[in-house]
Amino acid sequence: MTTQVSSAQHAKTHVKVSSLAQTAAAVIFGAVVLFAVGFLPTDAAHNAAHDTRHAMAFPCH
């Protein structure tokens, strides 16, 4: 019984780290994509996303 509890606890700890790593990776993915659309200073990136940057209230020009 004791063993079962401790192994369950171990599994739960492992799970939290694992899911946090995955959700954090998804947040980073989203942030990188948003940076490219809204913030990348390269002229071509700015011009391609120009109207989106204005419409979504990202700083532009």
Partner 1 sequence: MLFRRIILNALLVGVVASFVFSLLQVYVVNPIIFASETYEVPEEAAPVADHHHGEEAAGHSHSHHHDEEAWAPEDGIERTAYTMSANVFAGIGYAAILLAVMSQLSLQGLTRVSVLKGVAWGLGGFIVFFGAPAIGIPPEIPGIEAAPVEHRQLWWMLAAGAVAVGLLVLAFAPLKFKALGLVAIAIPYLVSAPHPEGPAFSHPDPAAVVALTDLHQQFIVTTSVSNLLFWLVMGVMSAWVLNRWVLTPSVLKGLGQDETANA
CB burial readout 2-33, b (16+ within 10 A) else e: eeeeeeeeeeeeeeeeeeeeeeeeeeeeeeee
15 near partner 1 (CB under 8 A): yes
6 or 20: whose CB is closer to partner 1? Answer: 20
Contact letters for partner 1, residues 25-44 (x by CB under 8 A) = xxx-xxxxxx-xxxx-x-xx
C-alpha distances in Å from residue 7, one per residue of 1, 11, 17, 45: 10, 6, 16, 51
For position 17 contacting partner 1 by CB under 8 A, the verdict is: no
Which residue ranges make up the site for partner 1 (CB under 8 A)?
11-12, 14-16, 18-20, 22-27, 29-34, 36-39, 41, 43-44, 46-61
